[in-house]
Chains A and B, each alone.
Chain A
Amino acid sequence: MRVCPGDLLRREEGVVRLREAGDCWDCASCVKACPWGALALVLPVELGGRGSRLSARASPGRTRWTLRCWDGRVEEFET
């Protein structure tokens, strides 16, 4: 919420919401910054999205990514 370069996240009744999906750049800054790992990136339906989710856990110097594919596969990456 703090880092979003577009000021797009806000708290509504205790829940963090994206103001407008179409305003998101997909930079994943919020996904990496969320201390609970509660946020994930999904591909818009307009681009052929089928519901796979990409989440991340950042620690200094490295980020661990988890890709949960729509067909059930799970993959881990590190950057």
Chain B
Amino acid sequence: MSQLPVRRLQADLLVVGGGTAGCMAAVWAKRQAPACRVVVLEKAQVDRSGCLAAGVNALNAYRRPEDDPAQLVEWVRQDNGGLVREDLVESIARRLPAVPPLLEEWGLSIPRGKKGGDYVFRGPRSIVIRGEGLKPLLAAETRRAGVEVLNRVVATGYLRDGERVVGACGFGVREGVFYVVEAPAVICATGGAAGLYPPPCGGAAHHRTWYSPFNCGTGYAMGIRAGAEMTSFEMRFVPLRVKDVQAPTGTVAQGARVRQVNALGVEYLRGDDRITTADRLERTLREQQAGHGPCYLDLGRLVPEEVRRLCEAYLAMCPSAVLYWADRGIDPQAARLEIAGAEPCLTGGHAQAGYWVDVDRRTTLPGLLAAGDVAGGAPKKYVTGCLAEGQIAAETALSLRPEGRPDRSELEHQVEQEYRRALRPLVEPGPVTPRALEGRLQKIMEEYAGGASRGYRVCESELRVAAELLREARQLAGDLGVADLHGLMAAHEVLDRLEVAAVLVEHLRYRTETRWPIYQSRADFPERDDRRWQCFVNSRREVEGTVALLERRGTSPGGWAPWH
């Protein structure tokens, strides 16, 4: 197969990525404006795509209606080095109380506590759900709302009319069709980026990562290529997880008091609300460096009923954990789960790498909005925050008016160029496989950009090497070769990761302080420096291909004016 037929669609709203935020955005738009044509491009299949594929068992961002949103903003700010977009966090906080009831209306089962029908809290801002089937529910609602979902279509690039984004292109990985979708408003919701650093284990366990290995930073890469402004890529996210199976550690904390202990059985950290994920990881690394590893979550003695409950909790979100215990054994008399830090990834839902957006979720490119893990500046948004952002983006999208007709011949020229770029590894295959180039990328990032084996620390002299080697690696991109459309998808996954990694390295180089230990630890600038660095580091790719860095300073909510 060497050429693909082209199929053209015209929509009122195009959503790229039918995950958590994307499904909500599409449904929300149809609710507000039932007559509008909403199209979703989804590389997988909406019923089980993205971060929610296996399920989740909590909504980690929640606020009771009676609680002050400002409190939540303050908590997020303090937990994130005192630097977050407070206006964005607040806009999410305002919507949070209404999200769980909406999901219940759609069929989600949320357990209630004994007293007064309140939700069951796992922490002060997290509620327990029976969320194994959350994604199928969202997908069903999307269909019911009359959204047109194009499953198995891999988006590759935006269509532009000058600065304005007027649509996107992609290819159908199963049917072999090249899609061109035009729309006066486009919402990007492709999630974050996994696979920038080597996974914890290779071989048959290559994709046993915490973050979805199928979220490859395409939305970031599409924005970078189009010259959108990006923020805070240097704030990576590094999860502390149950070793090997990458299962979240919070799950076991339900009910029982769990101790975090080293190999000597010494509790080195007490479970207290103010300790951040990064603190827990840092203290764990310190124990290991002191020769006290491995470290564990100590569950104490478990009765069979508790073992079963634990298994069922994991089956609803990380089923391989249960296989792991079956194969490796877990002693109910002295149950402990080994914990370790995993590889860094980029996600605006836990940390804050992503598009620089205004409070209405407009990016710096007219016509383009962003929601969910791909949008920056608002850490700790999690599932519920992503859903809230989907709603905000949908409302803004509907308020956008098409600005004249795009220049047809210019548009056709772009379609032709993107078609050629997208299909090249298939049409003119070179000798380099996507897996080999991915290996190269991950090796560079591990060794020179603060991988797990380097204690996550970076310094200018190493980052400079990373930048140089990535430049070389990107030259190999033209030599990628694949045999089929599935291979073509893999080729784009690595191309997009390379694009994102290059920008990540420039961000890491620019911030010469340590603001977010582990996520962003500078060996050569180990202190936080508020006088110099109480600002966001943003970037934009210039026409010549260089990455321009800029600093953005602002104040409290309302301090960030929209830019159109």
Interface of A with B (CB < 8 Å)?
Answer: 2-7, 19, 21-29, 31, 33, 41-54, 56, 58, 61, 63, 65, 67, 69-70, 77-79
Contact = CB atoms under 8 A, between A and B. Distances in A.
A22 B54 contact: no
A45 B204 CA distance: 8
B133 A25 contact: no
Given A26-B320, A77-B311, A7 B50 contact: no
A60 B322 CA distance: 22
B315 interface: yes
Contacts of B315: 63, 65, 77, 79
A77 B50 CA distance: 25
B208 A54 contact: no
Given A7-B44, A47-B201, A54-B322, A28 B54 contact: yes
Given A43-B323, A43-B324, A54-B319, A5 B44 contact: yes
B201 A46 contact: yes
Interface string B360-384: 0000000000000000000000000
B327 A51 contact: yes
B205 to A, nearest CB: 4
Contact of B132 (A3, A46, A51, A79): A79
A46 B173 CA distance: 30
Interface stretch (B209-217, B273-281, B554-562): B209-217
Contact of B208 (A33, A44, A56, A61): A44
A49 B322 CA distance: 12
Given A3-B48, A70-B327, A47 B214 contact: no
B47 interface: yes
A15 to B, nearest CB: 17
A20 B319 CA distance: 19
A33 B173 CA distance: 21
Interface of B: 43-45, 47-50, 53-55, 107, 109, 130, 132-133, 152, 173-174, 201-209, 212-214, 244-245, 308, 311-312, 315-316, 318-320, 322-324, 326-328, 486, 489
A64 B152 CA distance: 28
A58 B201 CA distance: 30
Given A53-B323, A54-B323, 11 more contacts: A3-B47, A6-B44, A6-B214, A7-B173, A22-B205, A25-B207, A26-B54, A27-B48, A54-B320, A63-B133, A67-B322
Contacts of A26: 54, 207-208, 318-320
Contact of B489 (A7, A21, A51, A61): A7
Contacts of A22: 202-207
A23 to B, nearest CB: 6
A61 B49 contact: no
> Which of B44, B174, B311, B319 has the largest number of chain A CB atoms within 10 A?
B319
A52 to B, nearest CB: 4
A62 B489 CA distance: 33
B132 A63 contact: yes
Given A7-B152, A44-B203, A61-B109, A79 B130 contact: yes
A48 B327 contact: yes
Contacts of A21: 204
> Which of A47, A54, A69 has the largest number of chain B CB atoms within 10 A?
A47
Contacts of A79: 55, 130, 132, 312, 315-316
> Which of B107, B214, B489 has the largest number of chain A CB atoms within 10 A?
B214
A5 B214 contact: yes
A32 to B, nearest CB: 8
A49 B203 CA distance: 13
A26 B212 CA distance: 10
B327 A29 contact: no
A70 B325 CA distance: 11
B208 A4 contact: no
